[in-house]
């Protein structure tokens, strides 16, 4: 089980995020949404989670295959259509290194099987309870 906690006080909308291992991150809303832009917005965190997970998965795979993948740059954009209740996420990946077309195609397949990609592209159930 993976856990994270969030804590907010009266400071609009600064939220302190923590993991059980002690990692801490600040999330906030942009100034135009009433926040102070002190950290990633929640939607930016979602995009960053996909980008980070994809990078880690690609690095693990390329290292295992001993491919000359020097660097991976990923840009994730998310567009929400509230009217139709749809979300489109676009992930752009730049591979830097000596790779042939077959290796690049395989890396795209690997990117599509990173754990966060799998979570976002499958059915998700969220249970909420007061404690």
* pLDDT on residue 1: 93
pLDDT at 118: 97
Neighbours of 107 (CB within 10 A): 22
pLDDT of residue 94: 98
Residue 11: per-residue pLDDT: 87
Q: 42-120: which CATH architecture?
A: 2-Layer Sandwich (3.30)
Q: What is the pTM of this model?
A: 0.93
Binned average pLDDT, 10 residues per bin, the chain of 131 residues: 96 96 97 96 97 98 98 98 96 98 98 97 96 94
The pLDDT value recorded for residue 68 is: 98
Distances (CA, A) of 126 to 20, 57, 129: 20, 25, 10
Q: Where are the domains of the chain?
A: 1-39, 42-120
């Amino acid at each position: 089980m993976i856990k994270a906690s969030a804590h907010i006080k009266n400071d609009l909308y600064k939220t302190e995020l923590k993991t059980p291992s002690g990692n801490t991150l600040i999330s906030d809303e942009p100034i135009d949404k009433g926040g102070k832009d002190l950290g990633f917005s929640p939607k930016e965190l979602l995009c960053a989670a996909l980008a980070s997970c994809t990078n880690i998965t690609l690095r693990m795979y390329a290292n295992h295959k001993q491919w000359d993948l020097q660097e991976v740059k990923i840009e994730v954009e998310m567009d929400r259509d509230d009217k139709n209740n749809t979300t489109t996420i676009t992930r752009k990946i730049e591979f830097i290194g000596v790779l042939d077309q077959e290796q690049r195609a395989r890396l795209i397949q690997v990117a599509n099987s990173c754990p966060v990609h799998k979570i976002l592209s499958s059915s998700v159930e969220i249970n909420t309870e007061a404690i």
